[in-house]
Chain A
Amino acid sequence: MTRGRLRATAIGMVTMVALLVVWEFAVQASGLPEFVLPAPSQVAATAVDTAPLLGEHIATTATEAVLGLAVGVFVGWAMAVLIATLPTTGHIAQPMVLLSQTIPTVVLAPLMILWTGYGLASKVILVALTVFFPVLISAAAAIREVDADHADMVAGLGGTRRHQLWLVRLPASIPGALSGLRIAATYAVGAAVVSEYLAGESGLGVFIQRSRKAYAVDQIFVGIVLIAALAGLFVLVIVALRRAVTPWQTAPARL
């Protein structure tokens, strides 16, 4: 890490700590009741108390998000490659893809629950629906950026359409799909939690809903912190994955 980055990180950390201190102090000084705004120290204490309960909720939400991400990335990436290879499929898919994006996925949650039940499937579908679009768009853009001239080059050397697919389109789509995935990672956790709000037996969304009904605001905060941490973890994993899979890219190109 360079000195500049070290300094930037240090400033960020100090700001965070300062905000927490202000929050703590403000809550104690104003005497706000804890069912309105608990102090950070109390949220931390609650987190420790509820820790035995939380494991299962975290596991449920993480499973939904990971499976949904996997399905969404695969579908989005495959569609991008298909559309680049056979433009007609793009014309067929376009209205459906656009339509699916004009409907916020959360709005579809009741239908998914009705069709596939309260379990894992409905949430995975919702997460996948949220994720596939950014992946499709950035993979398709990555292919388009590299495609015409490079595919031409391959043809000029005697390559067939299959060569163009293997040598140019497929490899070009991967970094694109991965940058879409990075954007999608935070959406994925959000989509999983919101669909848990509506129905479910476990998961961080369920935990938050239960806490709300009990006016346990400190527990809601614990849930929020965990969701943020989970999304952050996903982003870190995806960034590491991208570094491993696309070693030719320089740091700025990965952003």
Chain B
Amino acid sequence: MTGEPVLEQARRADAGETSVALGAAVSVREFSVTFAGTQRGTHPVHVLDDVTLEVADREFVAILGPSGCGKSTLLRAMGSLLDERATTEGTAQARGATAWMPQRDCLLPWRRAMANAMVGAIAAGVPRERAAARAARLFEDFGLAGFETAWPHQLSGGMRQRLALLRTCLSERPVLLLDEPFGALDPVTRRRMNQWLASMELTDWIGEDSEEPRAVVLVTHDVDEAIALADRIVVLSGRPGRIVWEVTAQHREDKPHQRFDRDQLLAALDH
């Protein structure tokens, strides 16, 4: 968590003054990360190598890569959440404040569903009344209506994950960073969740009253998840992660569901 202040300050400054100059919602430039060995005798691990990437306003970008390729690290870097063991080169920053959603739902067992969702607002400093009103609406949209007073352990895996996403949205931060949001679910539920998420305009939720443009970055190792959700897919190689392929969704009238070439993506993953 040290090293955070510098990035944090840079981020704040950008948000305040140079937002016009910095066109992208998230910009990563020639970014490399090395983790110092945790014990004596272990070698430093080079996780990311010279990654350059921009996420535009209102864009939903999926970062696709094999396990251990550094995609989670890249996501954390975008949120200024890298820990002190990381040595970085280049820059990774978001123009506005970010909200990061971890792989596990991390619901607090002592808070009921609604109170758990409010954690997003509390941590981000969103006024309680405004957040509560939004939360009531979002519980409806997320299919959680009627479960406001349930304890987390009473919810199914899919519901827990949706609640975690709802909590992230309540932070009203313009950039959402999702780390395999449905990775912990069984394949059937995950597919359902992705269909549901794809049917929603996630970029519209983040702060429905705010004028600020919003963007979503999703990290996943699941090709179908990326295809279902993203406007653009960035494929990373195995460790150290480099960008090996980048593809934007095709809007084809004849095949509305085939926005990406799945085989091409799989080939890029095997690169």
Contacts and interface: CB of A to CB of B under 8 A. Distances in A.
Interface stretch (B118-126, B223-231, B250-258): B118-126
Given A156-B100, A156-B101, A163 B123 contact: yes
Contacts, number: 72
A157 B110 contact: no
Interface in A141-180: 146, 149-150, 152-159, 163, 167-168, 171-172, 174-175
Contact of B123 (A159, A174, A175, A248): A159
Contacts of B81: 152, 155-156
A155 B112 CA distance: 20
B153 to A, nearest CB: 7
Interface in B87-112: 97-102, 104, 106, 108-112
B109 A149 contact: no
Q: Is the interface of A mostly helix, strand, loop or mixed?
A: helix
Interface residues of B, number: 30
A171 B110 contact: yes
A250 B119 CA distance: 23
Given A155-B1, A156-B99, A149 B104 contact: yes
Contacts of A146: 108-109
Contacts of B109: 146, 248-249
Interface residues of A, number: 22
Contacts of A154: 119, 123
A116 interface: no
A129 to B, nearest CB: 30
B110 A156 contact: no
Given A171-B108, A248-B110, A153 B102 contact: yes
A9 interface: no
A153 B163 CA distance: 13
B151 A248 contact: yes
Nearest to B104: A149
Contacts of B79: 156
A196 B151 CA distance: 46
Contacts of A249: 109
B162 to A, nearest CB: 15
A246 interface: yes
Interface of A: 146, 149-150, 152-159, 163, 167-168, 171-172, 174-175, 246, 248-250
Interface of B: 1, 79, 81, 97-102, 104, 106, 108-112, 119-120, 122-125, 151-153, 167-168, 171, 173, 177
The 4 A-B pairs with the shortest beta carbon distances in the complex, nearest first, are A156-B100, A159-B123, A157-B123, A153-B106
